[in-house]
């Protein structure tokens, strides 16, 4: 008999506190998240036999997180280890479950105390620090700069303005205001003028075009259908998923940047949607990696929800806002909910909560099919997509 073909479902999700957590460690956030997601599923740690860590181990230098966590969680032989962005890892875990390689796997991340942005890099006093030889750090660039370069070129080619980008921050903050757990929701709604009046970080990106830079952890439990049917919540089925990569770590991004046929995100989306047997119009709710306002606009185009160059119009037409045809980043996203280190699993978690009908004031009525996108390295150097549905 060949590999069985078994359905997989997301059965547990958990988010720790998000924000400034000076009393926490990355490890304790990860452990809390794992325990929390397993408990949300109605399972125990002994049920886990696959690990999807979103981080390296900081326990022993140079070791993988898989081995550290396999030992930490009870010195039991585990069956599946994966790497990649959250949606892609969950896609591969679903495929592994389908093929019979594992029954229950947990994706997890947690980060405390280290800032991702420029405030996290102190100036040396005695000698120039050494960095990898093609690193953009030699030029004073960092992730915000890289996305600013993407935004600048995009705005030039497609006639998009800073006010257009700001619309993304505005609708995403609106969602955060409706999410009591979001970091920025308590600061209230913002307007396009607020975004444009916030200080420049890297032109053309203002402070409010950028995600926040906080601590936090999360975990997601994915299981076979047999396990899922006996879990605490209704299963959120994985219908399809895929990932695609084409570029190295911020070394360069050669021309073309905006081909009609798309790049990594298009490829991952087409494959994931094909496996799921859905069309763009079937998506009720979306979670898309929104590290900067430009990212959401390009995500919408590259995923095929609108044409190249029309992402800003799509946002302005209100389609991403609650009440629109595809509410997007309903938790407030990375811009206004939480951006802790590698937050790509947060988009999956919010979509799962929407499909469970657990989102209170920000609930999308009758949400049945949801999509999450993880992307990275700007200009969509990598991407992964997960398609989820409830019965």
| Nearest alpha-carbon partner for 266 in 388, 383, 386 | 383
What are the DSSP calls for 149-173, one per residue? HHHHHHHHHHT--HHHHHHHHHHHH
Of 32-91, binders to other proteins (CB under 8 A) are none
Which residue, 99 or 131, has its beta carbon nearer to other proteins?
Answer: 131
Tell which phi-psi region holds residue 50, choosing left (phi > 0), alpha (psi between -120 and 50) or beta: beta
Strands 205-206 and 200-202: antiparallel
Q: Is residue 138 close enough to count as binding other proteins by CB under 8 A? A: yes
Q: Which is nearer to other proteins, 121 or 191 (CB)?
A: 121
What is the spatial distance between Cα 190 and Cα 231, in angstroms, rounded to a whole number?
40
Smallest separation (angstroms) from other proteins to the CB of 161: 15
Task: Rule CB under 8 A: say whether 152 interacts with other proteins.
Answer: yes
- Residue 198, Cβ neighbours under 10 Å: how many? 17
Question: Prior bond to 206 cis, omega within 30?
Answer: no
Total residue length of the chain: 391
By CB under 8 A, residue 139 contacts other proteins: yes
Which residue lies nearer to other proteins by CB, 137 or 197?
A: 137
**Which one among 200, 277, 307, 358 touches other proteins, defined by CB under 8 A?**
200
* Residue 61 Cβ vs other proteins, minimum distance, rounded to whole Å: 18
Which residue bears the tokens 């389609």?
319
Q: With CB under 8 A, what is the number of residues at the site for other proteins?
A: 45
Among 22, 60, 61, 254, binds other proteins (CB under 8 A): 254
Strands 80-81 and 200-202: unpaired
Nearest alpha-carbon partner for 105 in 160, 41, 165? 41
CB of 383 to other proteins, least distance (A): 20
Task: Yes or no: say if 16 and 33 are a contact pair by the CB < 8 Å rule.
Answer: yes
Candidate list 2, 5, 252, 260; residue touching other proteins; CB under 8 A: 252
Nearer to other proteins, 87 or 144 (CB): 144
* Residues of this chain, 109-128, that bind other proteins according to CB under 8 A: 118, 120-128
Report in angstroms how near the CB of residue 131 gets to other proteins at its nearest.
4
Backbone angles phi, psi at 205, to 5 degrees: -90, 125
Q: What is the DSSP string of 269-309?
A: HHHHHHHHT--GGG--EEEE--SBHHHHHHHHHHTTSS-TT
Q: What does the alpha-carbon distance between residue 134 and residue 277 come to, in Å, rounded to a whole number?
A: 42
Among 1, 23, 199, 365, binds other proteins (CB under 8 A): 199
CB atoms within 10 A of CB 149: 20
Interface residue with other proteins, options 230, 248, 317, 360 (CB under 8 A): 248
Residues 363-382: x/- map of binding to other proteins (CB under 8 A)?
Answer: --------------------
- Note whether 225 binds other proteins by CB under 8 A: no
Question: Of residues 101, 141, 192, 278, which one binds other proteins by CB under 8 A?
Answer: 141
Phi, psi of 109 (to 5 degrees): -155, 150
End-to-end CA distance of the chain: 29
What minimum distance in Å lies between the beta carbon of 246 and other proteins? 11
Smallest gap from residue 249 Cβ to other proteins (A): 10
Cβ nearer to other proteins, comparing 261 with 323: 261
**Residues in the site for other proteins, rule: CB under 8 A?**
118, 120-142, 144-145, 148-150, 152-153, 156, 199-205, 248, 251-255
């Amino acid at each position: 008999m060949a590999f069985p073909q078994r359905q997989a479902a997301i059965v547990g999700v958990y988010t720790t506190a998000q924000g400034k957590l000076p009393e926490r460690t990355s490890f304790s956030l990860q452990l809390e998240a794992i325990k929390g997601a397993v408990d949300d599923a109605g399972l125990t740690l002994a049920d886990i036999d696959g690990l999807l860590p979103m981080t390296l181990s900081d326990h022993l230098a140079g070791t993988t997180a898989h081995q550290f966590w396999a030992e930490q969680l009870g010195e039991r032989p585990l069956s599946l280890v994966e790497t990649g962005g959250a949606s892609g890892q969950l896609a591969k875990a679903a495929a592994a479950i389908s093929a019979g390689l594992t029954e229950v796997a947990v994706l997890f991340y947690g980060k405390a105390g280290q800032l991702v942005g420029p405030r996290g890099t102190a100036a040396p006093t005695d000698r120039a620090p050494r960095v990898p030889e093609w690193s953009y750090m030699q030029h004073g660039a960092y992730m915000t700069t890289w996305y600013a370069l993407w935004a600048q070129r995009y705005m030039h080619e497609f006639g998009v303005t800073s006010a257009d980008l700001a619309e993304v921050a505005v609708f995403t903050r609106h969602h955060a205001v409706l999410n009591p757990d979001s970091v920025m929701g308590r600061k209230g709604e913002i307007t396009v003028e607020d975004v444009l009046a916030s200080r420049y970080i890297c032109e053309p990106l203002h402070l409010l075009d950028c995600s926040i830079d906080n601590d936090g952890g999360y975990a997601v439990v994915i299981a076979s259908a047999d396990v899922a049917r006996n879990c605490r919540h209704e299963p959120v089925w994985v219908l399809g998923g895929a990932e695609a990569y084409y570029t190295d770590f911020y070394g360069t991004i050669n021309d073309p940047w905006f081909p009609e046929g798309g790049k990594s995100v298009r490829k991952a989306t087409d494959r994931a949607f094909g496996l799921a047997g859905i069309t763009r119009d079937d998506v009720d709710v979306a979670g898309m990696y929104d590290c900067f306002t430009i990212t959401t606009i390009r995500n919408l185009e590259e995923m095929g929800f609108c044409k190249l160059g029309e992402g800003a119009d799509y946002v302005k037409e209100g389609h991403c806002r609650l009440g629109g045809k595809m509410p997007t980043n309903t938790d407030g996203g990375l811009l206004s909910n939480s951006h802790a280190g590698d937050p790509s699993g947060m988009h999956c978690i919010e979509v799962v909560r929407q499909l469970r009908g657990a989102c209170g004031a920000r609930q999308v009525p009758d949400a049945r099919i949801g999509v999450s996108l993880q992307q990275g390295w700007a200009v969509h150097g990598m991407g992964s997509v997960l398609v989820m549905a409830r019965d």
